[in-house]
A and B are shown apart, each in its own frame.
Chain A
Amino acid sequence: MENSYSASEEKIIQDLFPQKFNRKGILWVIGLSLVCLIGLFAYYRQLRYGLVVTAMRDYASWGIYISNFVFFVAISLVGSLITAVFRLAHVEWSTPLTRISEMIAVAAILFASIIIIVDMGSPERFYNLFLYGRVQSPIIWDVIVISTYFVISILLLYYPLLPDIKILLQFKEKNGSRLNKFYSFIGSFWKGTKEQNRLSRNALHVLSVTIIPVAFCIHTVTSWLFATTYRPGWDSTNFGAYFISGAFLVGAGSVIVAMYILRNAYSLEHYITRGHFEKMGRIVVLLALLYLYFNVNEYLVPAFKMKKSEDAHLTGLFAGEFAPLFWFAILVGMILPILILIFRRGRRPLPAFIAGIMVVIGAWFKRYLIVTPTLLHPFLPMHNVPENYRHYFPTWEEWSIAIASLAGCMLVITILCRIFPIVPIQETLTEHHHQAILTEQNHEIAK
């Protein structure tokens, strides 16, 4: 195979080429796989004995599975932010982050689909959703929009990968035979001709435009699963925007976390620079402020009126059973990350990574707080019910399955990072080429 790259380009390719797992990587994969296996065993028990193995009962019929689902859907929104919004806005510094965010988006939306099936008591009847589903139901809108977003995310990951596959196939000796076969299968047809480039460019443009409304839809519709139900805490016209702002925040936070881990694990300091943390940190501050604003709207306005029907729910959040989690989510998920990232020092890689972790953990608990406390405070009072119907604490099966889904999502991202370049090689080469031309022109002007 002909390799017509300059020394600096060879260096870039070498740096960005997918690398085999080192010992830590292998342990990481084994650890995640074990967690997934425990989750699978718990799911086997759930299938065998039914949803009775969970703590979900008549009132709290949505527990941490649905919280996890909303969390995954939220994280998946990052694909549209980094890839589409930044691409259309010609934000060039985002190039090294596009692949990471798309991988996160694909893995998250995949597990959002899986966890929603896990929540079904009889998953073997899933097909009935398509046979008899009612188009009037927000649940059907969610099914449609999630499958649409999944396909768009796959395409948005796949199209920019094609030029990189060509490069990967030029270094067959570095890949194993299986990987070579896989690369050949998915992209050996890419020759980088003018026409192929034109078609690919147009497709990416169309995808970038299409994914934004679909991404907005996916999270708006998810919020409508709640908002179209008349219940304390969900009965809000603000829910769509509230969910989208939260989703952008957790997505951006997760990208910072992934950036830091991958940068250190694969020594990508020259590609994912301090500048990227600086810029992503600013974005997270903006998004956290926006989300905080929506939270003030969601909680302060009903609390000011304190309608009888919402009293128990709001009091439970502010000072009752759910208060520690509520204030944890607000403080750790929003206020502390803002306080860290608002300062230049806080936007260095390590503090930004810590802030990113806070955002992600806070966001998970926030989803739980949106879903479950409302269900435990119905408008009609609970009468003649067993005591455990009035509270919800997940069983070990639920924890195992929920944690396994998070581990599974990370495992998919890890495997994608092993197979494909984390930073797009071809785009980096092109940018490097443009940079070289610009530098040469500047030199000539200076002469």
Chain B
Amino acid sequence: MRSLNRNIAFLASFVFFFSSLVVFAQDSTKNSLNITLSFYNENNKIPYLGVKVKSKIDGKFKQISSIPLALYLDADSTANLIGKVVTDDNGQAVASIPPSLKGKWSPFTKHDFIAVFDGDKKYEATKADVSIVRAKISIDTSSDKKVLATVYELQDTNWVPLKGVDVGFTIRRMDAYLNINETPTFSTDSTGQASADFKRDNIPGDLKGNIVLVAKVDDNDKYGNLTAEKIVPWGSKFVAENNFDKRTLFATRNKAPIWLLILAYSIALSVWGTLLILIVNLIKIKKLGIQQSSTH
């Protein structure tokens, strides 16, 4: 009996040891995710939410793709669902705040955004949130090429000017924003205003010389990302150089360079001329044969 008990105890400890190994093995393969939420209000249109998902793998942070996330406004309930997104190859996703949540968005000056990941075979379930206070930015210009921006915060039902917010004044280019002068940001005064002088006089604009000025508040802890845009004719007019009607190697066939046409056609004509002579030669040989037959 004693030995049986010893055997059972041994077996039980053996099973416990291996089952714990299995449990640890499952845990050790799962990584934790780092979810970052950012709020965007671009040009005072429909605000949207940006999500970035990373994970520390082999000591380095890597962007994680194909992570399904549920995004909520203020509370993680179905009624507050902003949307469900899946991260792309760069570990990013965006979702606009839907019109159905207008009733929950408009009455309040402060909101929480919540991202929920339910977990999968590779990553642990994760939740992240961010709080923002509703704010907006406006942009204006004066005739002496000065750009003005005013930042407001929503307090109760009023938009109140904000002091001490860093505003960047930029021009929107193809892939990035270019500062309008050497100073990267300007702080707002007690009237909520900041201003900067436009010093990019010869910057290329569109066909009419129009450029897009953008006043930005970037990654503000309290207000998120705010931008406002204005089109002004302060750039130089873009004159496209058009080779369409000129003779080039990449033009249409009747616009090929003259030297190439002469060279190509003269080679082709001389070779095909020779071949034509040889075909005529065959006809001559045939005629000679027919003549020979008729004389015999």
Contact = CB atoms under 8 A, between A and B. Distances in A.
Contacts, number: 72
A108 B176 CA distance: 56
A133 interface: yes
Contacts of B89: 383-384
B255 to A, nearest CB: 9
A136 B292 contact: no
B244 to A, nearest CB: 14
B253 A148 contact: no
Question: Binding site of A, secondary structure by majority: helix, strand, loop or mixed?
Answer: helix
Contacts of B278: 155, 203, 206-207
Contact of A191 (B250, B277, B284, B293): B293
A193 B288 contact: yes
Nearest to A190: B289
Given A155-B278, A203-B278, A203-B281, A191 B288 contact: yes
A196 B289 contact: yes
Question: Binding site of B, secondary structure by majority: helix, strand, loop or mixed?
Answer: helix
A196 B293 CA distance: 13
Contacts of A210: 271, 274-275
A151 B260 contact: no
B264 interface: yes
Nearest to B252: A134
B1 interface: no
A162 B285 contact: yes
Contacts of A214: 271
Contacts of A384: 89
B288 A206 contact: no
B272 interface: yes
Nearest to B272: A148
A148 B288 contact: no
A144 B260 CA distance: 15
A383 B261 CA distance: 40
Interface residues on A, range: 20 to 34
A133 B253 contact: yes
A195 B287 CA distance: 11
Interface string A148-192: 100110010011001000000000000000000000000011110
A257 to B, nearest CB: 30
Contacts of A191: 288-289, 292-293
Interface string B242-276: 00000001111100110011001100100110110
Nearest to A149: B271
Nearest to A194: B288
Contacts of B272: 148
A144 B275 CA distance: 13
Contact of B256 (A136, A195, A383): A136
Contacts of A155: 275, 278-279
Contacts of B251: 136
Given A190-B289, A384-B89, A135 B253 contact: yes
B296 to A, nearest CB: 9
Contacts of A199: 281, 284-285, 288
A132 interface: yes
Interface string A346-374: 00000000000000000000000000000
B173 interface: no
B284, B287, B289 — most chain A CB neighbours (10 Å):
B289
Contact of B290 (A148, A151, A189): A189
A134 B284 CA distance: 37
A189 B282 CA distance: 10
A191 B295 CA distance: 12
Given A152-B275, A384-B89, A135 B264 contact: yes
Contacts of A136: 249-251, 253, 256-257, 260
A141 B289 contact: no
B173 to A, nearest CB: 22
A330 to B, nearest CB: 35
B104 interface: no
A200 B264 contact: no
Interface string B168-194: 000000000000000000000000000
Contact of B261 (A135, A190, A202): A135
A365 B286 CA distance: 45
A135 B275 contact: no
Contact of A206 (B274, B282, B284): B274
Contacts of B292: 191, 193
A199 B287 CA distance: 12
A202 B261 CA distance: 31
A188 B285 CA distance: 11
A214 B249 CA distance: 24
Contacts of B288: 189, 191, 193, 195-196, 199
Given A136-B250, A144-B268, A199-B284, A189 B274 contact: no
A148 B289 contact: no
B285 A196 contact: yes
Contact of B275 (A151, A158, A162): A151
B285 A135 contact: no
A148 B276 CA distance: 11
Contacts of B279: 155
B122 to A, nearest CB: 19
Given A162-B285, A189-B290, A148 B275 contact: yes
Given A134-B256, A189-B285, A199-B288, 12 more contacts: A135-B253, A135-B260, A135-B265, A136-B249, A136-B251, A136-B260, A148-B272, A189-B293, A190-B285, A193-B289, A210-B271, A210-B274
Interface of B: 89, 249-253, 256-257, 260-261, 264-265, 268, 271-272, 274-275, 277-279, 281-282, 284-290, 292-293
6 contacts: A134-B256, A190-B285, A191-B289, A193-B289, A210-B275, A384-B89
Interface of A: 132-136, 141, 144, 148, 151-152, 155, 158-159, 162, 188-191, 193, 195-196, 199-200, 202-203, 206-207, 210, 214, 383-384
